[in-house]
Amino acid sequence: MEIQGYNVPEDLYYHDENTWLKIEDDGTVRVGMDDFYQKQAGDTTYVDLPFEGDSVSQGETCGKIQSSKWVGKFVSPISGEIVEVNGELENDCRLINKDPYGGGWIMRVKPSNLDEELKNLAYGADALQKFIQDHIDKAGKGGK
């Protein structure tokens, strides 16, 4: 689904800090930065990845992402244990720009409180319309 020029797949859940999650068949969740982030930030130049085996909490900063415009925080949209990080980003961190919902994923997490924490995330067409509009308003762009 596209909302005001931003690609926002409807099958994902979105956190206010521009991260998304996808529930995988094995019960883990895949996490990355959304299209709004990558379009606002410009080219990603460096990613400070979290570590496999670390625990993360929903809303907690667990890494940093540097772009051509700024250094930002990577915030976990869910609590749990990091079971994998995307090592490909060490070779080409621009995957976050080129394919934010595919090859540009950042980590996989074994969630500890999934059902409860999903309630704190934007999901579905109506919620995503509001989510993107709120982000546009916050960025002061009034559009793309």
pLDDT digits (tens, 9 = 90+) for 75-121: 999 999 999 999 999 999 999 999 999 999 999 999 999 999 999 99
Q: Are 33 and 106 within 8 A, CB to CB?
A: yes
What pTM was estimated for this model as a whole? 0.92
Looking at the domain that runs over 2-132, which CATH code has it been given? 2.40.50.100
| Environment class of 91 (CB within 10 Å of its CB; exposed 0-12, middle 13-18, buried 19+) | exposed
Characterize 40-60 residue by residue with b for buried, 16 or more Cβ atoms within 10 angstroms of its Cβ, and e for exposed: bbeebeebebbeeeeebebbe
